[in-house]
Chain A
Amino acid sequence: MKIFRAIGLTLLFLLTTLSSSGAAEADLRAIIAKFATAADFSETGVIVRELTATGDPAVERPLAALAEGNLYIRAADSMVFVGKEGSDSIQLFDPLSGEAAGEASADDLTQIGVNNTLRRTIRDALGTLTLGSKDPTVRIAAANTMFKTPDAANIEPLDAAIASESVASVKALLEQARGASILVSDKPDADKLAAIALIGARGDRDALSLLTSVEANASGAVKEAATAAIASINSTLALWDAGQNIWYGISLGSVLLLAAIGLAITFGVMGVINMAHGEMVMLGAYTTFVVQQVIRTSFPGLFDWSLVIALPLAFLVAALVGLAIERGIIRFLYGRPLETLLATWGVSLILQQAVRTIFGPTNQEVGNPSWMSGSFDIGQLAITWNRLWILVFALAVFGVLLYVMKRTPWGLQMRAVTANRRMAASMGIKTPWVDALTFALGSGIAGIAGVALSQIDNVSPNLGRGYIIDSFMVVVFGGVGNLWGTLVGAFSLGIVNKFLEPYAGAVLGKIVVLVLIILFIQKRPRGLFALKGRAVEA
C-alpha cells in the first residue's frame, strides 16, 4: 500500500512539475479531489458542473470514467483514481494524465456512485467539451447530444465549431444543434423561424420532440411555424411507421419460419404430431450456451465466432436426440396420431426436466456477438442487427432445406416415402431408415433454430413451450407437407400480427390472428398450399 502511495505521489509530483499549465492542472486536481468528500448524488453533481465550468478538455477523462462508474476513491488516502477491473484487482490510473498508478484490491477502493441524472449531466457536459474533437464520430455524437439538450449558452461554441468544420454531414448536424439552441434562447423571431425550417427538414423523432415543446411555449408566427413543421414531420413519420410495421412483420415472420421449419419436416412431411419440437429448439439454445461457456473460459478471442461454432454442434445434438426419439418411441406409433401426440408430449416434459436438473431452473446468459448487437438507421427506420441476421439466417436455412428436399437423392427418397410408402419400399428404399433420418433432419433444423433464437429469447427450460403453438399454426396455415407454404405462412402471419399490434394491442392482436386462422382453416382445411394427389387422401 505504502509503495503504491509513494509511486502515486511521485507520479503526481512529476506530472505537476512537467506540465506546462501547472497551475490550471492543480486547480483541476483540487476539484477532482472533492469527489472523495461528496455525500450524495447532488453533491457529486455540483463537482461535475464545477469541472465542466473550467472548460478544460482534460476533464473529459475523469468525467467519462465517472459516467461509466469507473472512478474510485482509495480508502487509505482519499485519492481519486480511474479504475479498470482486472481479474482479481483493480488497476488504477491517474484521472487527468491517464498514466498507470499501480493497482489495488476492490476492498480498498470505494466506487463513486452515479445515477441517471448524473449520467445525463455528464453526457451534456461532454457534448460541449468534445465539440472540437479530431474524430468526426465524436463530433457527431456531441452535435446530437447538444441537439437533444438545447441551451442558449451553446450558441457561441457551436458558431465557432461550425466555422471550423470541414465535413459537410457533421456541419449540417452542428447547424441543427445551433438551431435547437436558438429556439430556446431569446433571439429575434426571424432567427427562430429559420431554425424551425432547419429542424423541420431534419424530420426525425428528436426534431418532433423539440418542436412540440417549442410549440407549447411560443406564440404568434413562431408557434404557427412550429405547428406546420410538426404536421409535416408527422405525415412523413406516418409513412415510415407503415414501413416499420412491415419490417417488424418480416422479422417476426423470420422467427416463426425458423421455429416452424423443422416442424414442417417432422409434422408436415412425415405427419408426426411432434410435441417435443420446441424442446429440440431448446436443446439447440442450450448447446449455444455450452459453446459460449467453453469459449468464455478457454478461448475468449473466439467469442464472435461462437454462434458459427454452435451451429453444427446444435444440429448434431438435436438430430441425435431426434434420432433416438424416432427409433425409441415414434416408430412404434406410426399411424396412431393420438398416441404419438401423448408420447411426444411426455418426451417434451422429460427433456425439459432433464435440462432443468442439469443446468438449473434459472435463465442462462447467452451473449450477443458484436456483429449482432445494436442497430442502424435507414431514414427513420431503426433496424436491429440481430433481427436482420436472423432473417438472413432463416432464409438461408430455408434455401438449404429446399435444395436437400428437391435436388438430392436423399430428398427424393424422403418424398417418395411420404407419397407412397409401399411403392417406395418395393422400389428398394429402406423406409424405416428414411423415416429415422427425416425425423433427425427435422430435429436438427429445430436445433439450429435454437441457436438463432437464443439471441432474442430466454435460454431457459421453457424456451420451447413458447414456440410450439406458433409453429403448428404456421405449418397448418401454410399447408401441411409444403415447404413453400411454411415460408408464406410464416411471413403472412408475422406481418398481419405486427399490423394489428399497434391498433389492437399485443393480447387482442394475437386473439384476432387466431380467429382469422380458424376461419381460414374452415374455408380451406388443407391450408394455403394444399398437396394434391392420391397419396394425400390415403
Chain B
Amino acid sequence: MRGNFAKITKILSAGVVAAGLLASASAKAAEDTIKVGILHSLSGTMAISETTLKDVMLMLIDEQNAKGGLLGKKLEAVVVDPASNWPLFAEKARELISKDKVAAVFGCWTSVSRKSVLPVFSELDNILFYPVQYEGEESERNVFYTGAAPNQQAIPAVDYLMSADGGSVKRWVLEGTDYVYPRTTNKILEAYLKSKGVPAEDIMVNYTPFGFSDWQTEVSAIKKFGSAGKKTAVVSTVNGDANVPFYKELGNQGIKAEDIPVMAFSVGEEELAGLDTKPLVGHLAAWNYFESVNTPENKKFIADWHKFIKNNKRTTNDPMEAHYIGFNMWVKAVEKAGTTDPDKVIDAMVGVSVPNLTGGYSTMMPNHHITKPVLIGEIQANGQFQTVSKTPGLVMGDEWSDYLPDSKDLISDWRAPLSCGNFNVKAGKCGGKGTN
C-alpha cells in the first residue's frame, strides 16, 4: 500500500514537472510569434459576408509567414466568432486583446459592431482595421478605416449619374435599408443633391427593414416616380440579403438599366454570385475595387485567393482589397516602428503607403482614412463589373462630411501636436460632435 502510494507520488510529481516544462515550452513558442486577431462573424446573419474576410486574412498571414514573418517572428492568427451579435463583438475584442495579447485586430463589418468595440479598443489601447465602406462621421485614434468614406463612394457615384456619360439624371430615388449607414449616407446625399440645385420634389427617400423580401410595392413606386418625364435613377444603400429579391423584382417588372439605372453601394461580386445577372446588365455599383480590374497585382491576388480557398469560382471583392491594403500597411508600420507596441505603431501608420490592387498606391492619412481611386462599374451578364468610369486621381477619405451642418467645421488629425479626431476649425479647439 505504502509502496504504491510512493509510486503514485513519484509519477504525479514527474507529471507535474513534465507539464511545467511543456507549459514553459509553449510560453516560449508564444513569445516567438506575433498574434493577429481576426474578429469576423462566422455564424449568424453576417456570416455570408464576413467569413470571406476571415479567409482572406488567413491567406495574407500565411503569405507573410512564407516571406519570413515580421521582425523575425512568425505571425499567428487568432480567430474568434462574434456570431453577428453586436455586444458579443465587444466581449470577443476584449478577449483578443487581454487574453490572447494580439498586436492588432482586423475585423467588424456593420457600423453597429464597430461602434460596439470602439470603447474596448480605446480602453485597452489596441489597433482595429475596419475594411468596409461606411457612413463616416467618425475618427478614432485606435481605428484605421480602410473602407471608403462617403466621399470615396457615394458622392463620386452621384456625380457620375449627373454627368452626360451617366445619363444626366435629374430625379433621384434614395432607397436604403433602415439602419445607420444608409440613413447617414442618404442625409449626406440629399444635402449634396440640393447643393447641386435638385429640387426637393425630385428626391424620394425610402427605407425598408433588414432582410426585406417583398419588393413589389417599392419597385412599382420607383416606376411611378420615374414616369414624370425626367431621367430618373435609384441610389441604393440596400444591405446584403435584401438585394437579391430587390434585383429579382426589378428584373421581373421590366425596369431596364437604360431607363432607370440602380447605383448600389453595398452590392459587390459576392452578392451577385447568388443571382442570374442577365436581366441586370447595366445596373451600377460604385467601389474602390472590382474583381475585373486588369492589373498584374490583382491577377496575382485572385490566383492566390483561388489557390488558398481551393475553389476557382470564389469571387474577390472590395472589402477584401481593403484588408489587403490594411494588412500590408500594418506590416510596413510595424517594420518602421521596429515593434508591435500599438502606441508606436499608431504613430508610425500615418504616411505609410502601399500598393493597392487597382494599379496605384494607397496612403494612410492623418485622419486614419486612406486614399483610394473610385470606380463605377456596370453589371455584366457573367456577374462581374465592367469599369465605366474611374476618378482621375486618388480620393482622400473625408471622415467629417462637408455637406452636413454639424460636421462641416470638423477635421481630424492624429499627428502630434493636434492629435484630435474632431477638431473644430471655427471654434479652434478639439471637441464638438463625436465620441471624444
- Spell out A's residues near B (CB within 8 Å): 41-42, 69, 113, 115-117, 119-120, 123, 148, 205-206, 208-214, 216, 244-245, 248, 251-252, 255, 349, 352-353, 356, 360-365, 367-368, 373-375, 382, 384-387, 456-462, 465-466, 498, 501-502, 505-507, 510
Q: Known A462-B48, A498-B216, A502-B221; judge A362-B274 contact (CB<8 A).
A: yes
CB of A505 within 8 A of CB of B206, answer yes
A501 to B206, CA, bound (A): 11
Give the bracket for the number of chain B residues in contact with chain A: 35 or more
CB of B209 within 8 A of CB of A506, answer yes
**B274–chain A nearest beta-carbon distance, Å:** 3
CB of B178 within 8 A of CB of A507, answer yes
Contacts of A387 in B (CB 8 A): 216, 252
CB of A116 within 8 A of CB of B211, answer no
Q: Known A353-B43, A506-B218, A507-B207; judge A115-B378 contact (CB<8 A).
A: yes
A501 to B386, CA, bound (A): 35
Q: Which of B110-118, B162-170, B419-427 contacts A (4 or more CB under 8 A)?
A: B162-170
Q: Is there a chain A Cβ closer than 8 Å to B416's Cβ?
A: no
Within 8 A of A (CB), among B17-61: 42-45, 47-48, 51-52
Contacts of A248 in B (CB 8 A): 214, 216-217, 220
**B5–chain A nearest beta-carbon distance, Å:** 46
CB of A356 within 8 A of CB of B47, answer yes
CB of B388 within 8 A of CB of A374, answer no
CB of A506 within 8 A of CB of B217, answer yes
Which residue in B165, B241, B273, B381 is a CB contact (below 8 Å) of A42? B165
CB of B258 within 8 A of CB of A209, answer no
Q: Known A213-B230, A252-B214; judge A386-B48 contact (CB<8 A).
A: no
**A268–chain B nearest beta-carbon distance, Å:** 23
A362 to B311, CA, bound (A): 13
Which residue in A362, A364, A465, A506 is a CB contact (below 8 Å) of B212? A506
Q: Known A120-B258, A465-B45; judge A208-B227 contact (CB<8 A).
A: yes
A353 to B224, CA, bound (A): 42
Closest residue to A217 on the B side, CB-wise?
B229
Q: Give 13 pairs: A residue, B residue, CB < 8 Å, sorted on A.
A: A119-B282, A213-B230, A248-B220, A352-B43, A363-B241, A363-B271, A386-B248, A456-B245, A457-B244, A458-B241, A498-B217, A505-B206, A507-B207
A505 to B44, CA, bound (A): 27
Closest residue to A211 on the B side, CB-wise?
B229
- Spell out B's residues near A (CB within 8 Å): 42-45, 47-48, 51-52, 164-167, 178, 206-209, 211-214, 216-218, 220-221, 223-224, 226-230, 241, 244-245, 248-249, 251-254, 257-259, 261, 270-271, 273-276, 279, 281-282, 284, 378, 380-381, 386, 388
Which residue in B52, B275, B381 is a CB contact (below 8 Å) of A69? B381
Q: Known A210-B229, A365-B275, A458-B244; judge A510-B254 contact (CB<8 A).
A: no
**A79–chain B nearest beta-carbon distance, Å:** 22
Q: Known A69-B381, A115-B165; judge A382-B227 contact (CB<8 A).
A: no
Closest residue to B279 on the A side, CB-wise?
A373
Which residue in B167, B253, B380 is a CB contact (below 8 Å) of A117? B167
CB of A117 within 8 A of CB of B164, answer yes
**B38–chain A nearest beta-carbon distance, Å:** 15
CB of B208 within 8 A of CB of A209, answer no
Residue among A113, A116, A373 with the highest chain B CB neighbour number at 10 A? A116
A208 to B224, CA, bound (A): 10
Contacts of B42 in A (CB 8 A): 361
**B20–chain A nearest beta-carbon distance, Å:** 38
Contacts of B270 in A (CB 8 A): 362
A221 to B214, CA, bound (A): 44
CB of B258 within 8 A of CB of A123, answer yes
Closest residue to B387 on the A side, CB-wise?
A113
CB of A373 within 8 A of CB of B274, answer no
Contacts of B271 in A (CB 8 A): 363
CB of A255 within 8 A of CB of B214, answer yes
Residue among B48, B261, B275 with the highest chain A CB neighbour number at 10 A? B48
A253 to B47, CA, bound (A): 30
In the A-B complex, the 9 residue pairs with the closest CB atoms: A363-B274, A213-B229, A205-B227, A212-B229, A209-B227, A384-B252, A506-B208, A361-B51, A248-B216
Contacts of A352 in B (CB 8 A): 43
User: Apart from A210-B229, A373-B251, A501-B218, what are 8 other A-B pairs with CB-CB below 8 Å?
Assistant: A113-B386, A115-B282, A116-B261, A362-B52, A363-B241, A363-B273, A374-B252, A506-B208
A7 to B364, CA, bound (A): 55
Closest residue to A237 on the B side, CB-wise?
B224
CB of B220 within 8 A of CB of A116, answer no
